[in-house]
Protein backbone atom coordinates (compact mmCIF):
# COMPACT_ATOMS: atom_id res chain seq x y z
CA UNK A 1 0.00 0.00 0.00
CA UNK A 2 1.37 3.40 -0.98
CA UNK A 3 0.78 6.31 1.41
CA UNK A 4 0.65 9.71 -0.28
CA UNK A 5 2.22 11.42 2.74
CA UNK A 6 5.36 9.30 2.47
CA UNK A 7 5.73 9.98 -1.26
CA UNK A 8 5.45 13.72 -0.84
CA UNK A 9 8.00 13.71 2.00
CA UNK A 10 10.46 11.77 -0.17
CA UNK A 11 9.89 14.16 -3.05
CA UNK A 12 10.52 17.14 -0.76
CA UNK A 13 13.76 15.57 0.46
CA UNK A 14 14.94 15.06 -3.11
CA UNK A 15 14.16 18.66 -3.97
CA UNK A 16 15.96 20.15 -0.95
CA UNK A 17 19.06 17.93 -1.13
CA UNK A 18 20.78 19.95 -3.91
CA UNK A 19 20.05 23.20 -2.06
CA UNK A 20 21.57 21.86 1.16
CA UNK A 21 24.57 20.52 -0.73
CA UNK A 22 25.11 23.89 -2.42
CA UNK A 23 24.82 25.76 0.89
CA UNK A 24 27.24 23.33 2.54
CA UNK A 25 29.83 23.77 -0.22
CA UNK A 26 29.45 27.55 -0.12
CA UNK A 27 30.02 27.51 3.63
CA UNK A 28 33.16 25.38 3.22
CA UNK A 29 34.58 27.76 0.60
CA UNK A 30 33.78 30.75 2.80
CA UNK A 31 35.51 29.24 5.83
CA UNK A 32 38.60 28.21 3.87
CA UNK A 33 38.91 31.63 2.23
CA UNK A 34 38.71 33.34 5.62
CA UNK A 35 41.58 31.25 6.92
CA UNK A 36 43.70 31.97 3.86
CA UNK A 37 43.12 35.71 4.16
CA UNK A 38 45.15 35.98 7.32
CA UNK A 39 43.79 34.49 10.48
CA UNK A 40 47.38 34.07 11.67
CA UNK A 41 48.27 37.10 13.79
CA UNK A 42 50.70 39.58 12.31
CA UNK A 43 54.22 39.80 13.68
CA UNK A 44 53.37 42.80 15.90
CA UNK A 45 50.60 40.85 17.64
CA UNK A 46 52.77 37.76 18.09
CA UNK A 47 55.56 39.84 19.65
CA UNK A 48 53.15 41.65 21.98
CA UNK A 49 51.54 38.37 23.07
CA UNK A 50 54.98 36.90 23.85
CA UNK A 51 55.79 39.67 26.37
CA UNK A 52 59.26 39.95 24.87
CA UNK A 53 60.48 42.48 27.45
CA UNK A 54 61.16 39.46 29.67
CA UNK A 55 64.17 38.75 27.43
CA UNK A 56 65.76 42.12 28.20
CA UNK A 57 67.55 41.52 31.48
CA UNK A 58 70.75 43.24 32.69
CA UNK A 59 73.61 42.79 32.05
CA UNK A 60 72.45 41.46 28.67
CA UNK A 61 72.21 44.07 25.95
CA UNK A 62 68.73 44.53 24.49
CA UNK A 63 68.87 44.86 20.73
CA UNK A 64 66.12 44.16 18.24
CA UNK A 65 66.83 43.07 14.67
CA UNK A 66 68.52 45.49 12.30
CA UNK A 67 68.04 45.30 8.52
CA UNK A 68 70.81 46.72 6.37
CA UNK A 69 69.65 47.30 2.78
CA UNK A 70 72.31 46.22 0.31
CA UNK A 71 72.21 45.90 -3.46
CA UNK A 72 71.37 42.19 -3.48
CA UNK A 73 68.82 42.20 -0.64
CA UNK A 74 69.48 42.54 3.08
CA UNK A 75 72.07 41.85 5.75
CA UNK A 76 70.06 41.19 8.91
CA UNK A 77 71.64 41.34 12.35
CA UNK A 78 69.83 39.76 15.27
CA UNK A 79 70.92 39.29 18.84
CA UNK A 80 70.27 36.37 21.11
CA UNK A 81 71.41 37.83 24.37
CA UNK A 82 74.49 39.88 23.58
CA UNK A 83 75.69 37.65 20.76
CA UNK A 84 75.10 39.06 17.28
CA UNK A 85 74.01 36.72 14.52
CA UNK A 86 74.24 37.70 10.86
CA UNK A 87 72.24 36.54 7.87
CA UNK A 88 72.21 37.50 4.21
CA UNK A 89 68.56 37.49 3.18
CA UNK A 90 67.29 37.84 -0.40
CA UNK A 91 64.69 40.58 -0.81
CA UNK A 92 61.92 38.07 -1.57
CA UNK A 93 62.58 36.18 1.69
CA UNK A 94 62.69 39.04 4.21
CA UNK A 95 59.11 38.62 5.48
CA UNK A 96 59.53 34.88 5.93
CA UNK A 97 62.87 35.40 7.69
CA UNK A 98 61.48 37.95 10.15
CA UNK A 99 58.40 35.82 10.87
CA UNK A 100 60.65 32.85 11.65
CA UNK A 101 62.82 34.67 14.20
CA UNK A 102 62.37 33.49 17.78
CA UNK A 103 60.51 35.87 20.07
CA UNK A 104 63.75 36.34 22.07
CA UNK A 105 65.05 38.33 19.08
CA UNK A 106 62.52 41.09 19.87
CA UNK A 107 63.36 42.15 23.49
CA UNK A 108 62.30 45.77 22.86
CA UNK A 109 58.95 44.80 21.40
CA UNK A 110 57.69 45.21 17.81
CA UNK A 111 60.44 47.61 16.77
CA UNK A 112 62.93 47.20 13.95
CA UNK A 113 65.67 49.44 12.57
CA UNK A 114 66.55 49.64 8.89
CA UNK A 115 69.36 51.51 7.16
CA UNK A 116 71.07 51.66 3.79
CA UNK A 117 74.59 50.39 3.32
CA UNK A 118 77.40 52.88 2.79
CA UNK A 119 79.27 50.47 0.50
CA UNK A 120 77.41 51.21 -2.72
CA UNK A 121 77.97 50.78 -6.42
CA UNK A 122 74.23 50.77 -7.31
CA UNK A 123 72.57 53.42 -5.14
CA UNK A 124 69.21 52.91 -6.87
CA UNK A 125 69.09 49.21 -5.92
CA UNK A 126 69.96 50.01 -2.30
CA UNK A 127 67.26 52.69 -2.10
CA UNK A 128 64.68 50.34 -3.63
CA UNK A 129 65.52 47.65 -1.08
CA UNK A 130 65.47 50.17 1.77
CA UNK A 131 62.01 51.45 0.85
CA UNK A 132 60.73 47.91 0.27
CA UNK A 133 61.96 46.85 3.72
CA UNK A 134 60.27 49.88 5.32
CA UNK A 135 56.94 49.06 3.64
CA UNK A 136 57.20 45.36 4.45
CA UNK A 137 58.05 45.89 8.12
CA UNK A 138 55.29 48.47 8.43
CA UNK A 139 52.79 46.04 6.90
CA UNK A 140 53.86 43.44 9.47
CA UNK A 141 52.88 45.85 12.24
CA UNK A 142 56.44 46.75 13.23
CA UNK A 143 57.52 50.24 14.24
CA UNK A 144 60.27 51.09 11.78
CA UNK A 145 63.24 53.27 12.74
CA UNK A 146 65.19 54.42 9.71
CA UNK A 147 68.82 55.02 10.61
CA UNK A 148 71.53 56.73 8.55
CA UNK A 149 73.76 54.56 6.37
CA UNK A 150 75.99 52.06 8.05
Distance, CA of 68 to chain centre: 19
41 contacts 54 by C-beta, under 8 angstroms: no
Q: What is the pLDDT along the chain (150 residues), one digit of tens a residue?
A: 555 555 555 555 556 555 555 544 444 444 444 434 445 679 999 999 988 888 887 767 789 999 999 999 999 999 887 789 999 999 999 999 999 999 999 999 999 999 999 998 999 999 999 999 999 999 999 999 999 986
Measured in degrees and rounded to the nearest 5, phi and psi for residue 98 equal -65, -40
pLDDT of the residue at 82:
76
Q: Which CATH number fits domain 43-146: 3.30.420, 3.40.50, 3.30.160, 2.40.10?
A: 3.30.420
Q: DSSP for 85-145?
A: EEEEEEGGGHHHHHHHS-GGG-TTSSEEEEEE-S--S-HHHHHHHHHHHHHHHHHTTPEEE
pLDDT of the residue at 88:
98
Give residue limits of the domains in the chain.
1-39, 43-146
pTM for the full model? 0.71
pLDDT of the residue at 100:
96
Amino acid sequence: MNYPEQGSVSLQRLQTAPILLTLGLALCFLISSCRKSGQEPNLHDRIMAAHTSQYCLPPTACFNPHVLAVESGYDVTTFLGSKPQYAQVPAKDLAKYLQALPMQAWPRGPLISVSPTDDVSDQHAVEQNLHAAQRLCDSMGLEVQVLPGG
